[in-house]
Amino acid sequence: MTRNFGCTKEGNQASLYVIRNENGMEAAVTDLGATLVSLKVKNKEGSMADVVLGYENAAGYEAGTCFFGTIVGRNANRIGGAQFELNGKTYHLTGNDNGNNLHSGMDFYNIRIWETEEVTETSVRFKLHSPDGDQGYPGALDMKVTYTLDEENGLTIHYEAVPDQDTVINMTNHSYFNLNGHKSGSVLHHRMQLLSDAFTPADAQSIPTGEVCSVDGTPMDFRSTKELGAEIDAAYEPLILGNGYDHNWVLKNEGRFDKVAVFNKIASTRMVPVFYHKDVEIVKKVVKSCYDGGVRVFEFTNRGDFAHEVFCEVVKYAAKECPDMAVGVGSVVDSATAALYIQLGASFVVGPLFNPEIAKICNRRLVTYMPGCGTVSEIGFAQESGCDLCKVFPGDVYGPNFVKGILAPMPWSKLMVTGGVEPTEENLKSWIKSGVYCVGMGSKLFPKDVLEKGDWGYITNKCREVLNYISEF
C-alpha cells in the first residue's frame, strides 16, 4: 500500500509505503530519508503495537532533530575535529556538533527524497546517488537500502554502497525502540543482553578515546541479561560523560568470523586453498599443513552426499588447532545447502554460479557469499545482492585479460579467480597483475601423490612459497 506522506519545504512530494508479512507484521517506510516510520508487531497478548518512534508526515521529519528511523550516512555518529585523513589527504567537514562532525554534516540524507527502485508486498528498496564532494567526502557514491519483512517476523535492513574511489562509508538506521509500544512508559525496564567483554570509552563530546576497556565489574557489563536502567545512574565516568549509555561495545564472535574478518584474512594472504577429500583425517592434515604455511582462509568443497559430515568435523578441528583459520564451503548451488553449512559453522559460502536466494540466506546471517560470475551483468547483479567478492570460474577459460576488462568499467569490483591457477611464480604474477583480489587454488596445490604419501610438509612449504610469490607483486 502506498499513500501521500506530505510535501517537503522545497515542494517535493514524499510517499509512504506499507509492507506486511502473512503474520500481520507491518512496516511503514518513506522515501524521505529512506526512513522507517513505524513497525507494528504482535505483543504477547496478540495485539499490535508500534515499537519505533516516528512522525506523521514529511513536515515532522524536516522539523525534527532526533533522526527517528532515518538512514544516516555517509558516516553515522561523530568524527572528531570535523576532519579526517585518507590516502595522505585531509578532508574538512562541517563542524555541526561542538566542532565535531555529526552524522556527516547539515545536508543530511534524511531530508532528501530517495528514489524508490522496487516495491513488493514484503519489501521496499530505495536508492540515492551522492556526488563526489557531497558533505565534504571524496568520491561519488551509489547507495541502496532495502527493508524486508520475513515470515519469521524479522525485519532486515540491507545496505549497499558502491563508491568510485576510496571514501568513508559507515551507514546505519537511527530508529528509537520501545518494545512495549507507544505511551507505554520508559524503556529502562527493558531487559538486554550484549555478548561483549569490552567497550570503547568516549570523552565529554562522545568521541572515542581510543581505549578498549573491559566491562568486568562495571555498569557496562550486559553479558548476563539485566534491565537497562539497573545501573544507568551509577557514579561511573563513562556513563556521566555520555549522559547514560551512548557507547560502542565490542561484540564477541564466538569463534566465528564475520564478513569484515573474512575479508581481512583474504586480503592478508590473497590465496584461498580449495580442497575436498572423503577422509576427514586427511582433510584435517591438509588444513593444518596450510595453516602452518601461513594460510588463513580455507575452502572445503561440497562434494558428495556426506560432505557436510566431514565439514562439521573439520570446523571443530580447525577451531581448536587452527584458531585463526576461517573455514568456508564451496560448490554450493542452492539456499538449503548454504543454510546447512552455515549452521555447521561455515564462515563463507562459495558457488560456481550466482543464486540470489543464497545471497538472502548469507546476508541474513552476515556470512560472505562469493558466487561464480562470467559476465559484467552477473557481477553487477551479484554486487547489488550484497556479494562483495565474486568468483571468476574457470579461470583458465577466461584468462587474466577478462579480469582487466571487468575492472576497467567497474574498478571497485573484487574478484577471486579459481581454475587454472598454478603455484608458480609466472602464473601467479599474471593473475595478480591483472588486478584480482585473490586466487583460489585446488589440485595443483595438493598433488595426488603427495596426499597418498602423506607428505604434509610439502603442502606447508608450497603454501609458504605461493604466499611469498604473491607478496612480491
Q: What cell does 428 get?
A: 601467479
pLDDT 10s digits, 393-417: 889 899 999 999 999 999 999 999 9
Contacts of 473 (CB under 8 A, 6+ apart): 428, 429, 432, 433
The torsion region of residue 254 among left (phi > 0), alpha (psi -120 to 50) and beta comes to left
pLDDT at position 264, please? 85
**Average per-residue pLDDT in the chain?**
93
pLDDT in tens, 4-41: 999 999 999 999 999 999 989 999 999 999 999 999 99
Q: What is the pLDDT of residue 305?
A: 80
What is the C-alpha to C-alpha distance for residues 300 and 344, in angstroms, rounded to an integer? 13
Q: Where are the domains of the chain?
A: 2-173, 186-252, 259-471
pTM (2 d.p.): 0.61
Whether residue 168 is predicted with pLDDT greater than 90 in this model: the reply is: yes
Residue 105 reports pLDDT greater than 50: yes
- Please report which confidence band the pLDDT of residue 380 belongs to, taking 50, 70 and 90 as the band edges: very high
Q: Give residue 154's pLDDT.
A: 86
Q: What is the pLDDT of residue 320?
A: 87
pLDDT digits (tens, 9 = 90+) for 110-167: 999 999 999 999 999 999 999 999 999 999 999 999 999 988 788 989 888 889 999 9
Q: pLDDT value at position 256?
A: 62
Pairing state between β 101-102 and 115-119: unpaired
Q: In CATH, what class is 259-471?
A: alpha beta
What is the mean predicted confidence (pLDDT) over 300-309? 91
All three cell numbers of 43, joined, read 505483543
| For range 437-453, the mean pLDDT | 94
The beta-carbon contacts of 401-404 under 8 Å, at least 24 apart in sequence, are 401/434, 403/431, 403/434, 403/435, 403/436, 404/434, 404/435
The residues, any chain, with a CB within 8 Å of residue 130's CB and separated by 6 or more, are 73, 74, 109, 137, 140, 141, 142, 143
- For residue 206, pLDDT over 80 is answered with yes
For residue 252, what pLDDT is reported?
A: 66
Q: Which DSSP string do the residues of 333-350 spell out, in sequence order?
A: -SHHHHHHHHHTT-SEEE
Rounded Cα–Cα distance for residues 180 and 71 (Å): 23
Pick the CATH number of 2-173 from 3.30.465.10, 3.30.1360.120, 3.20.20.70, 2.70.98.10: 2.70.98.10
- Residue that the C-alpha cell 528498496 belongs to: 125
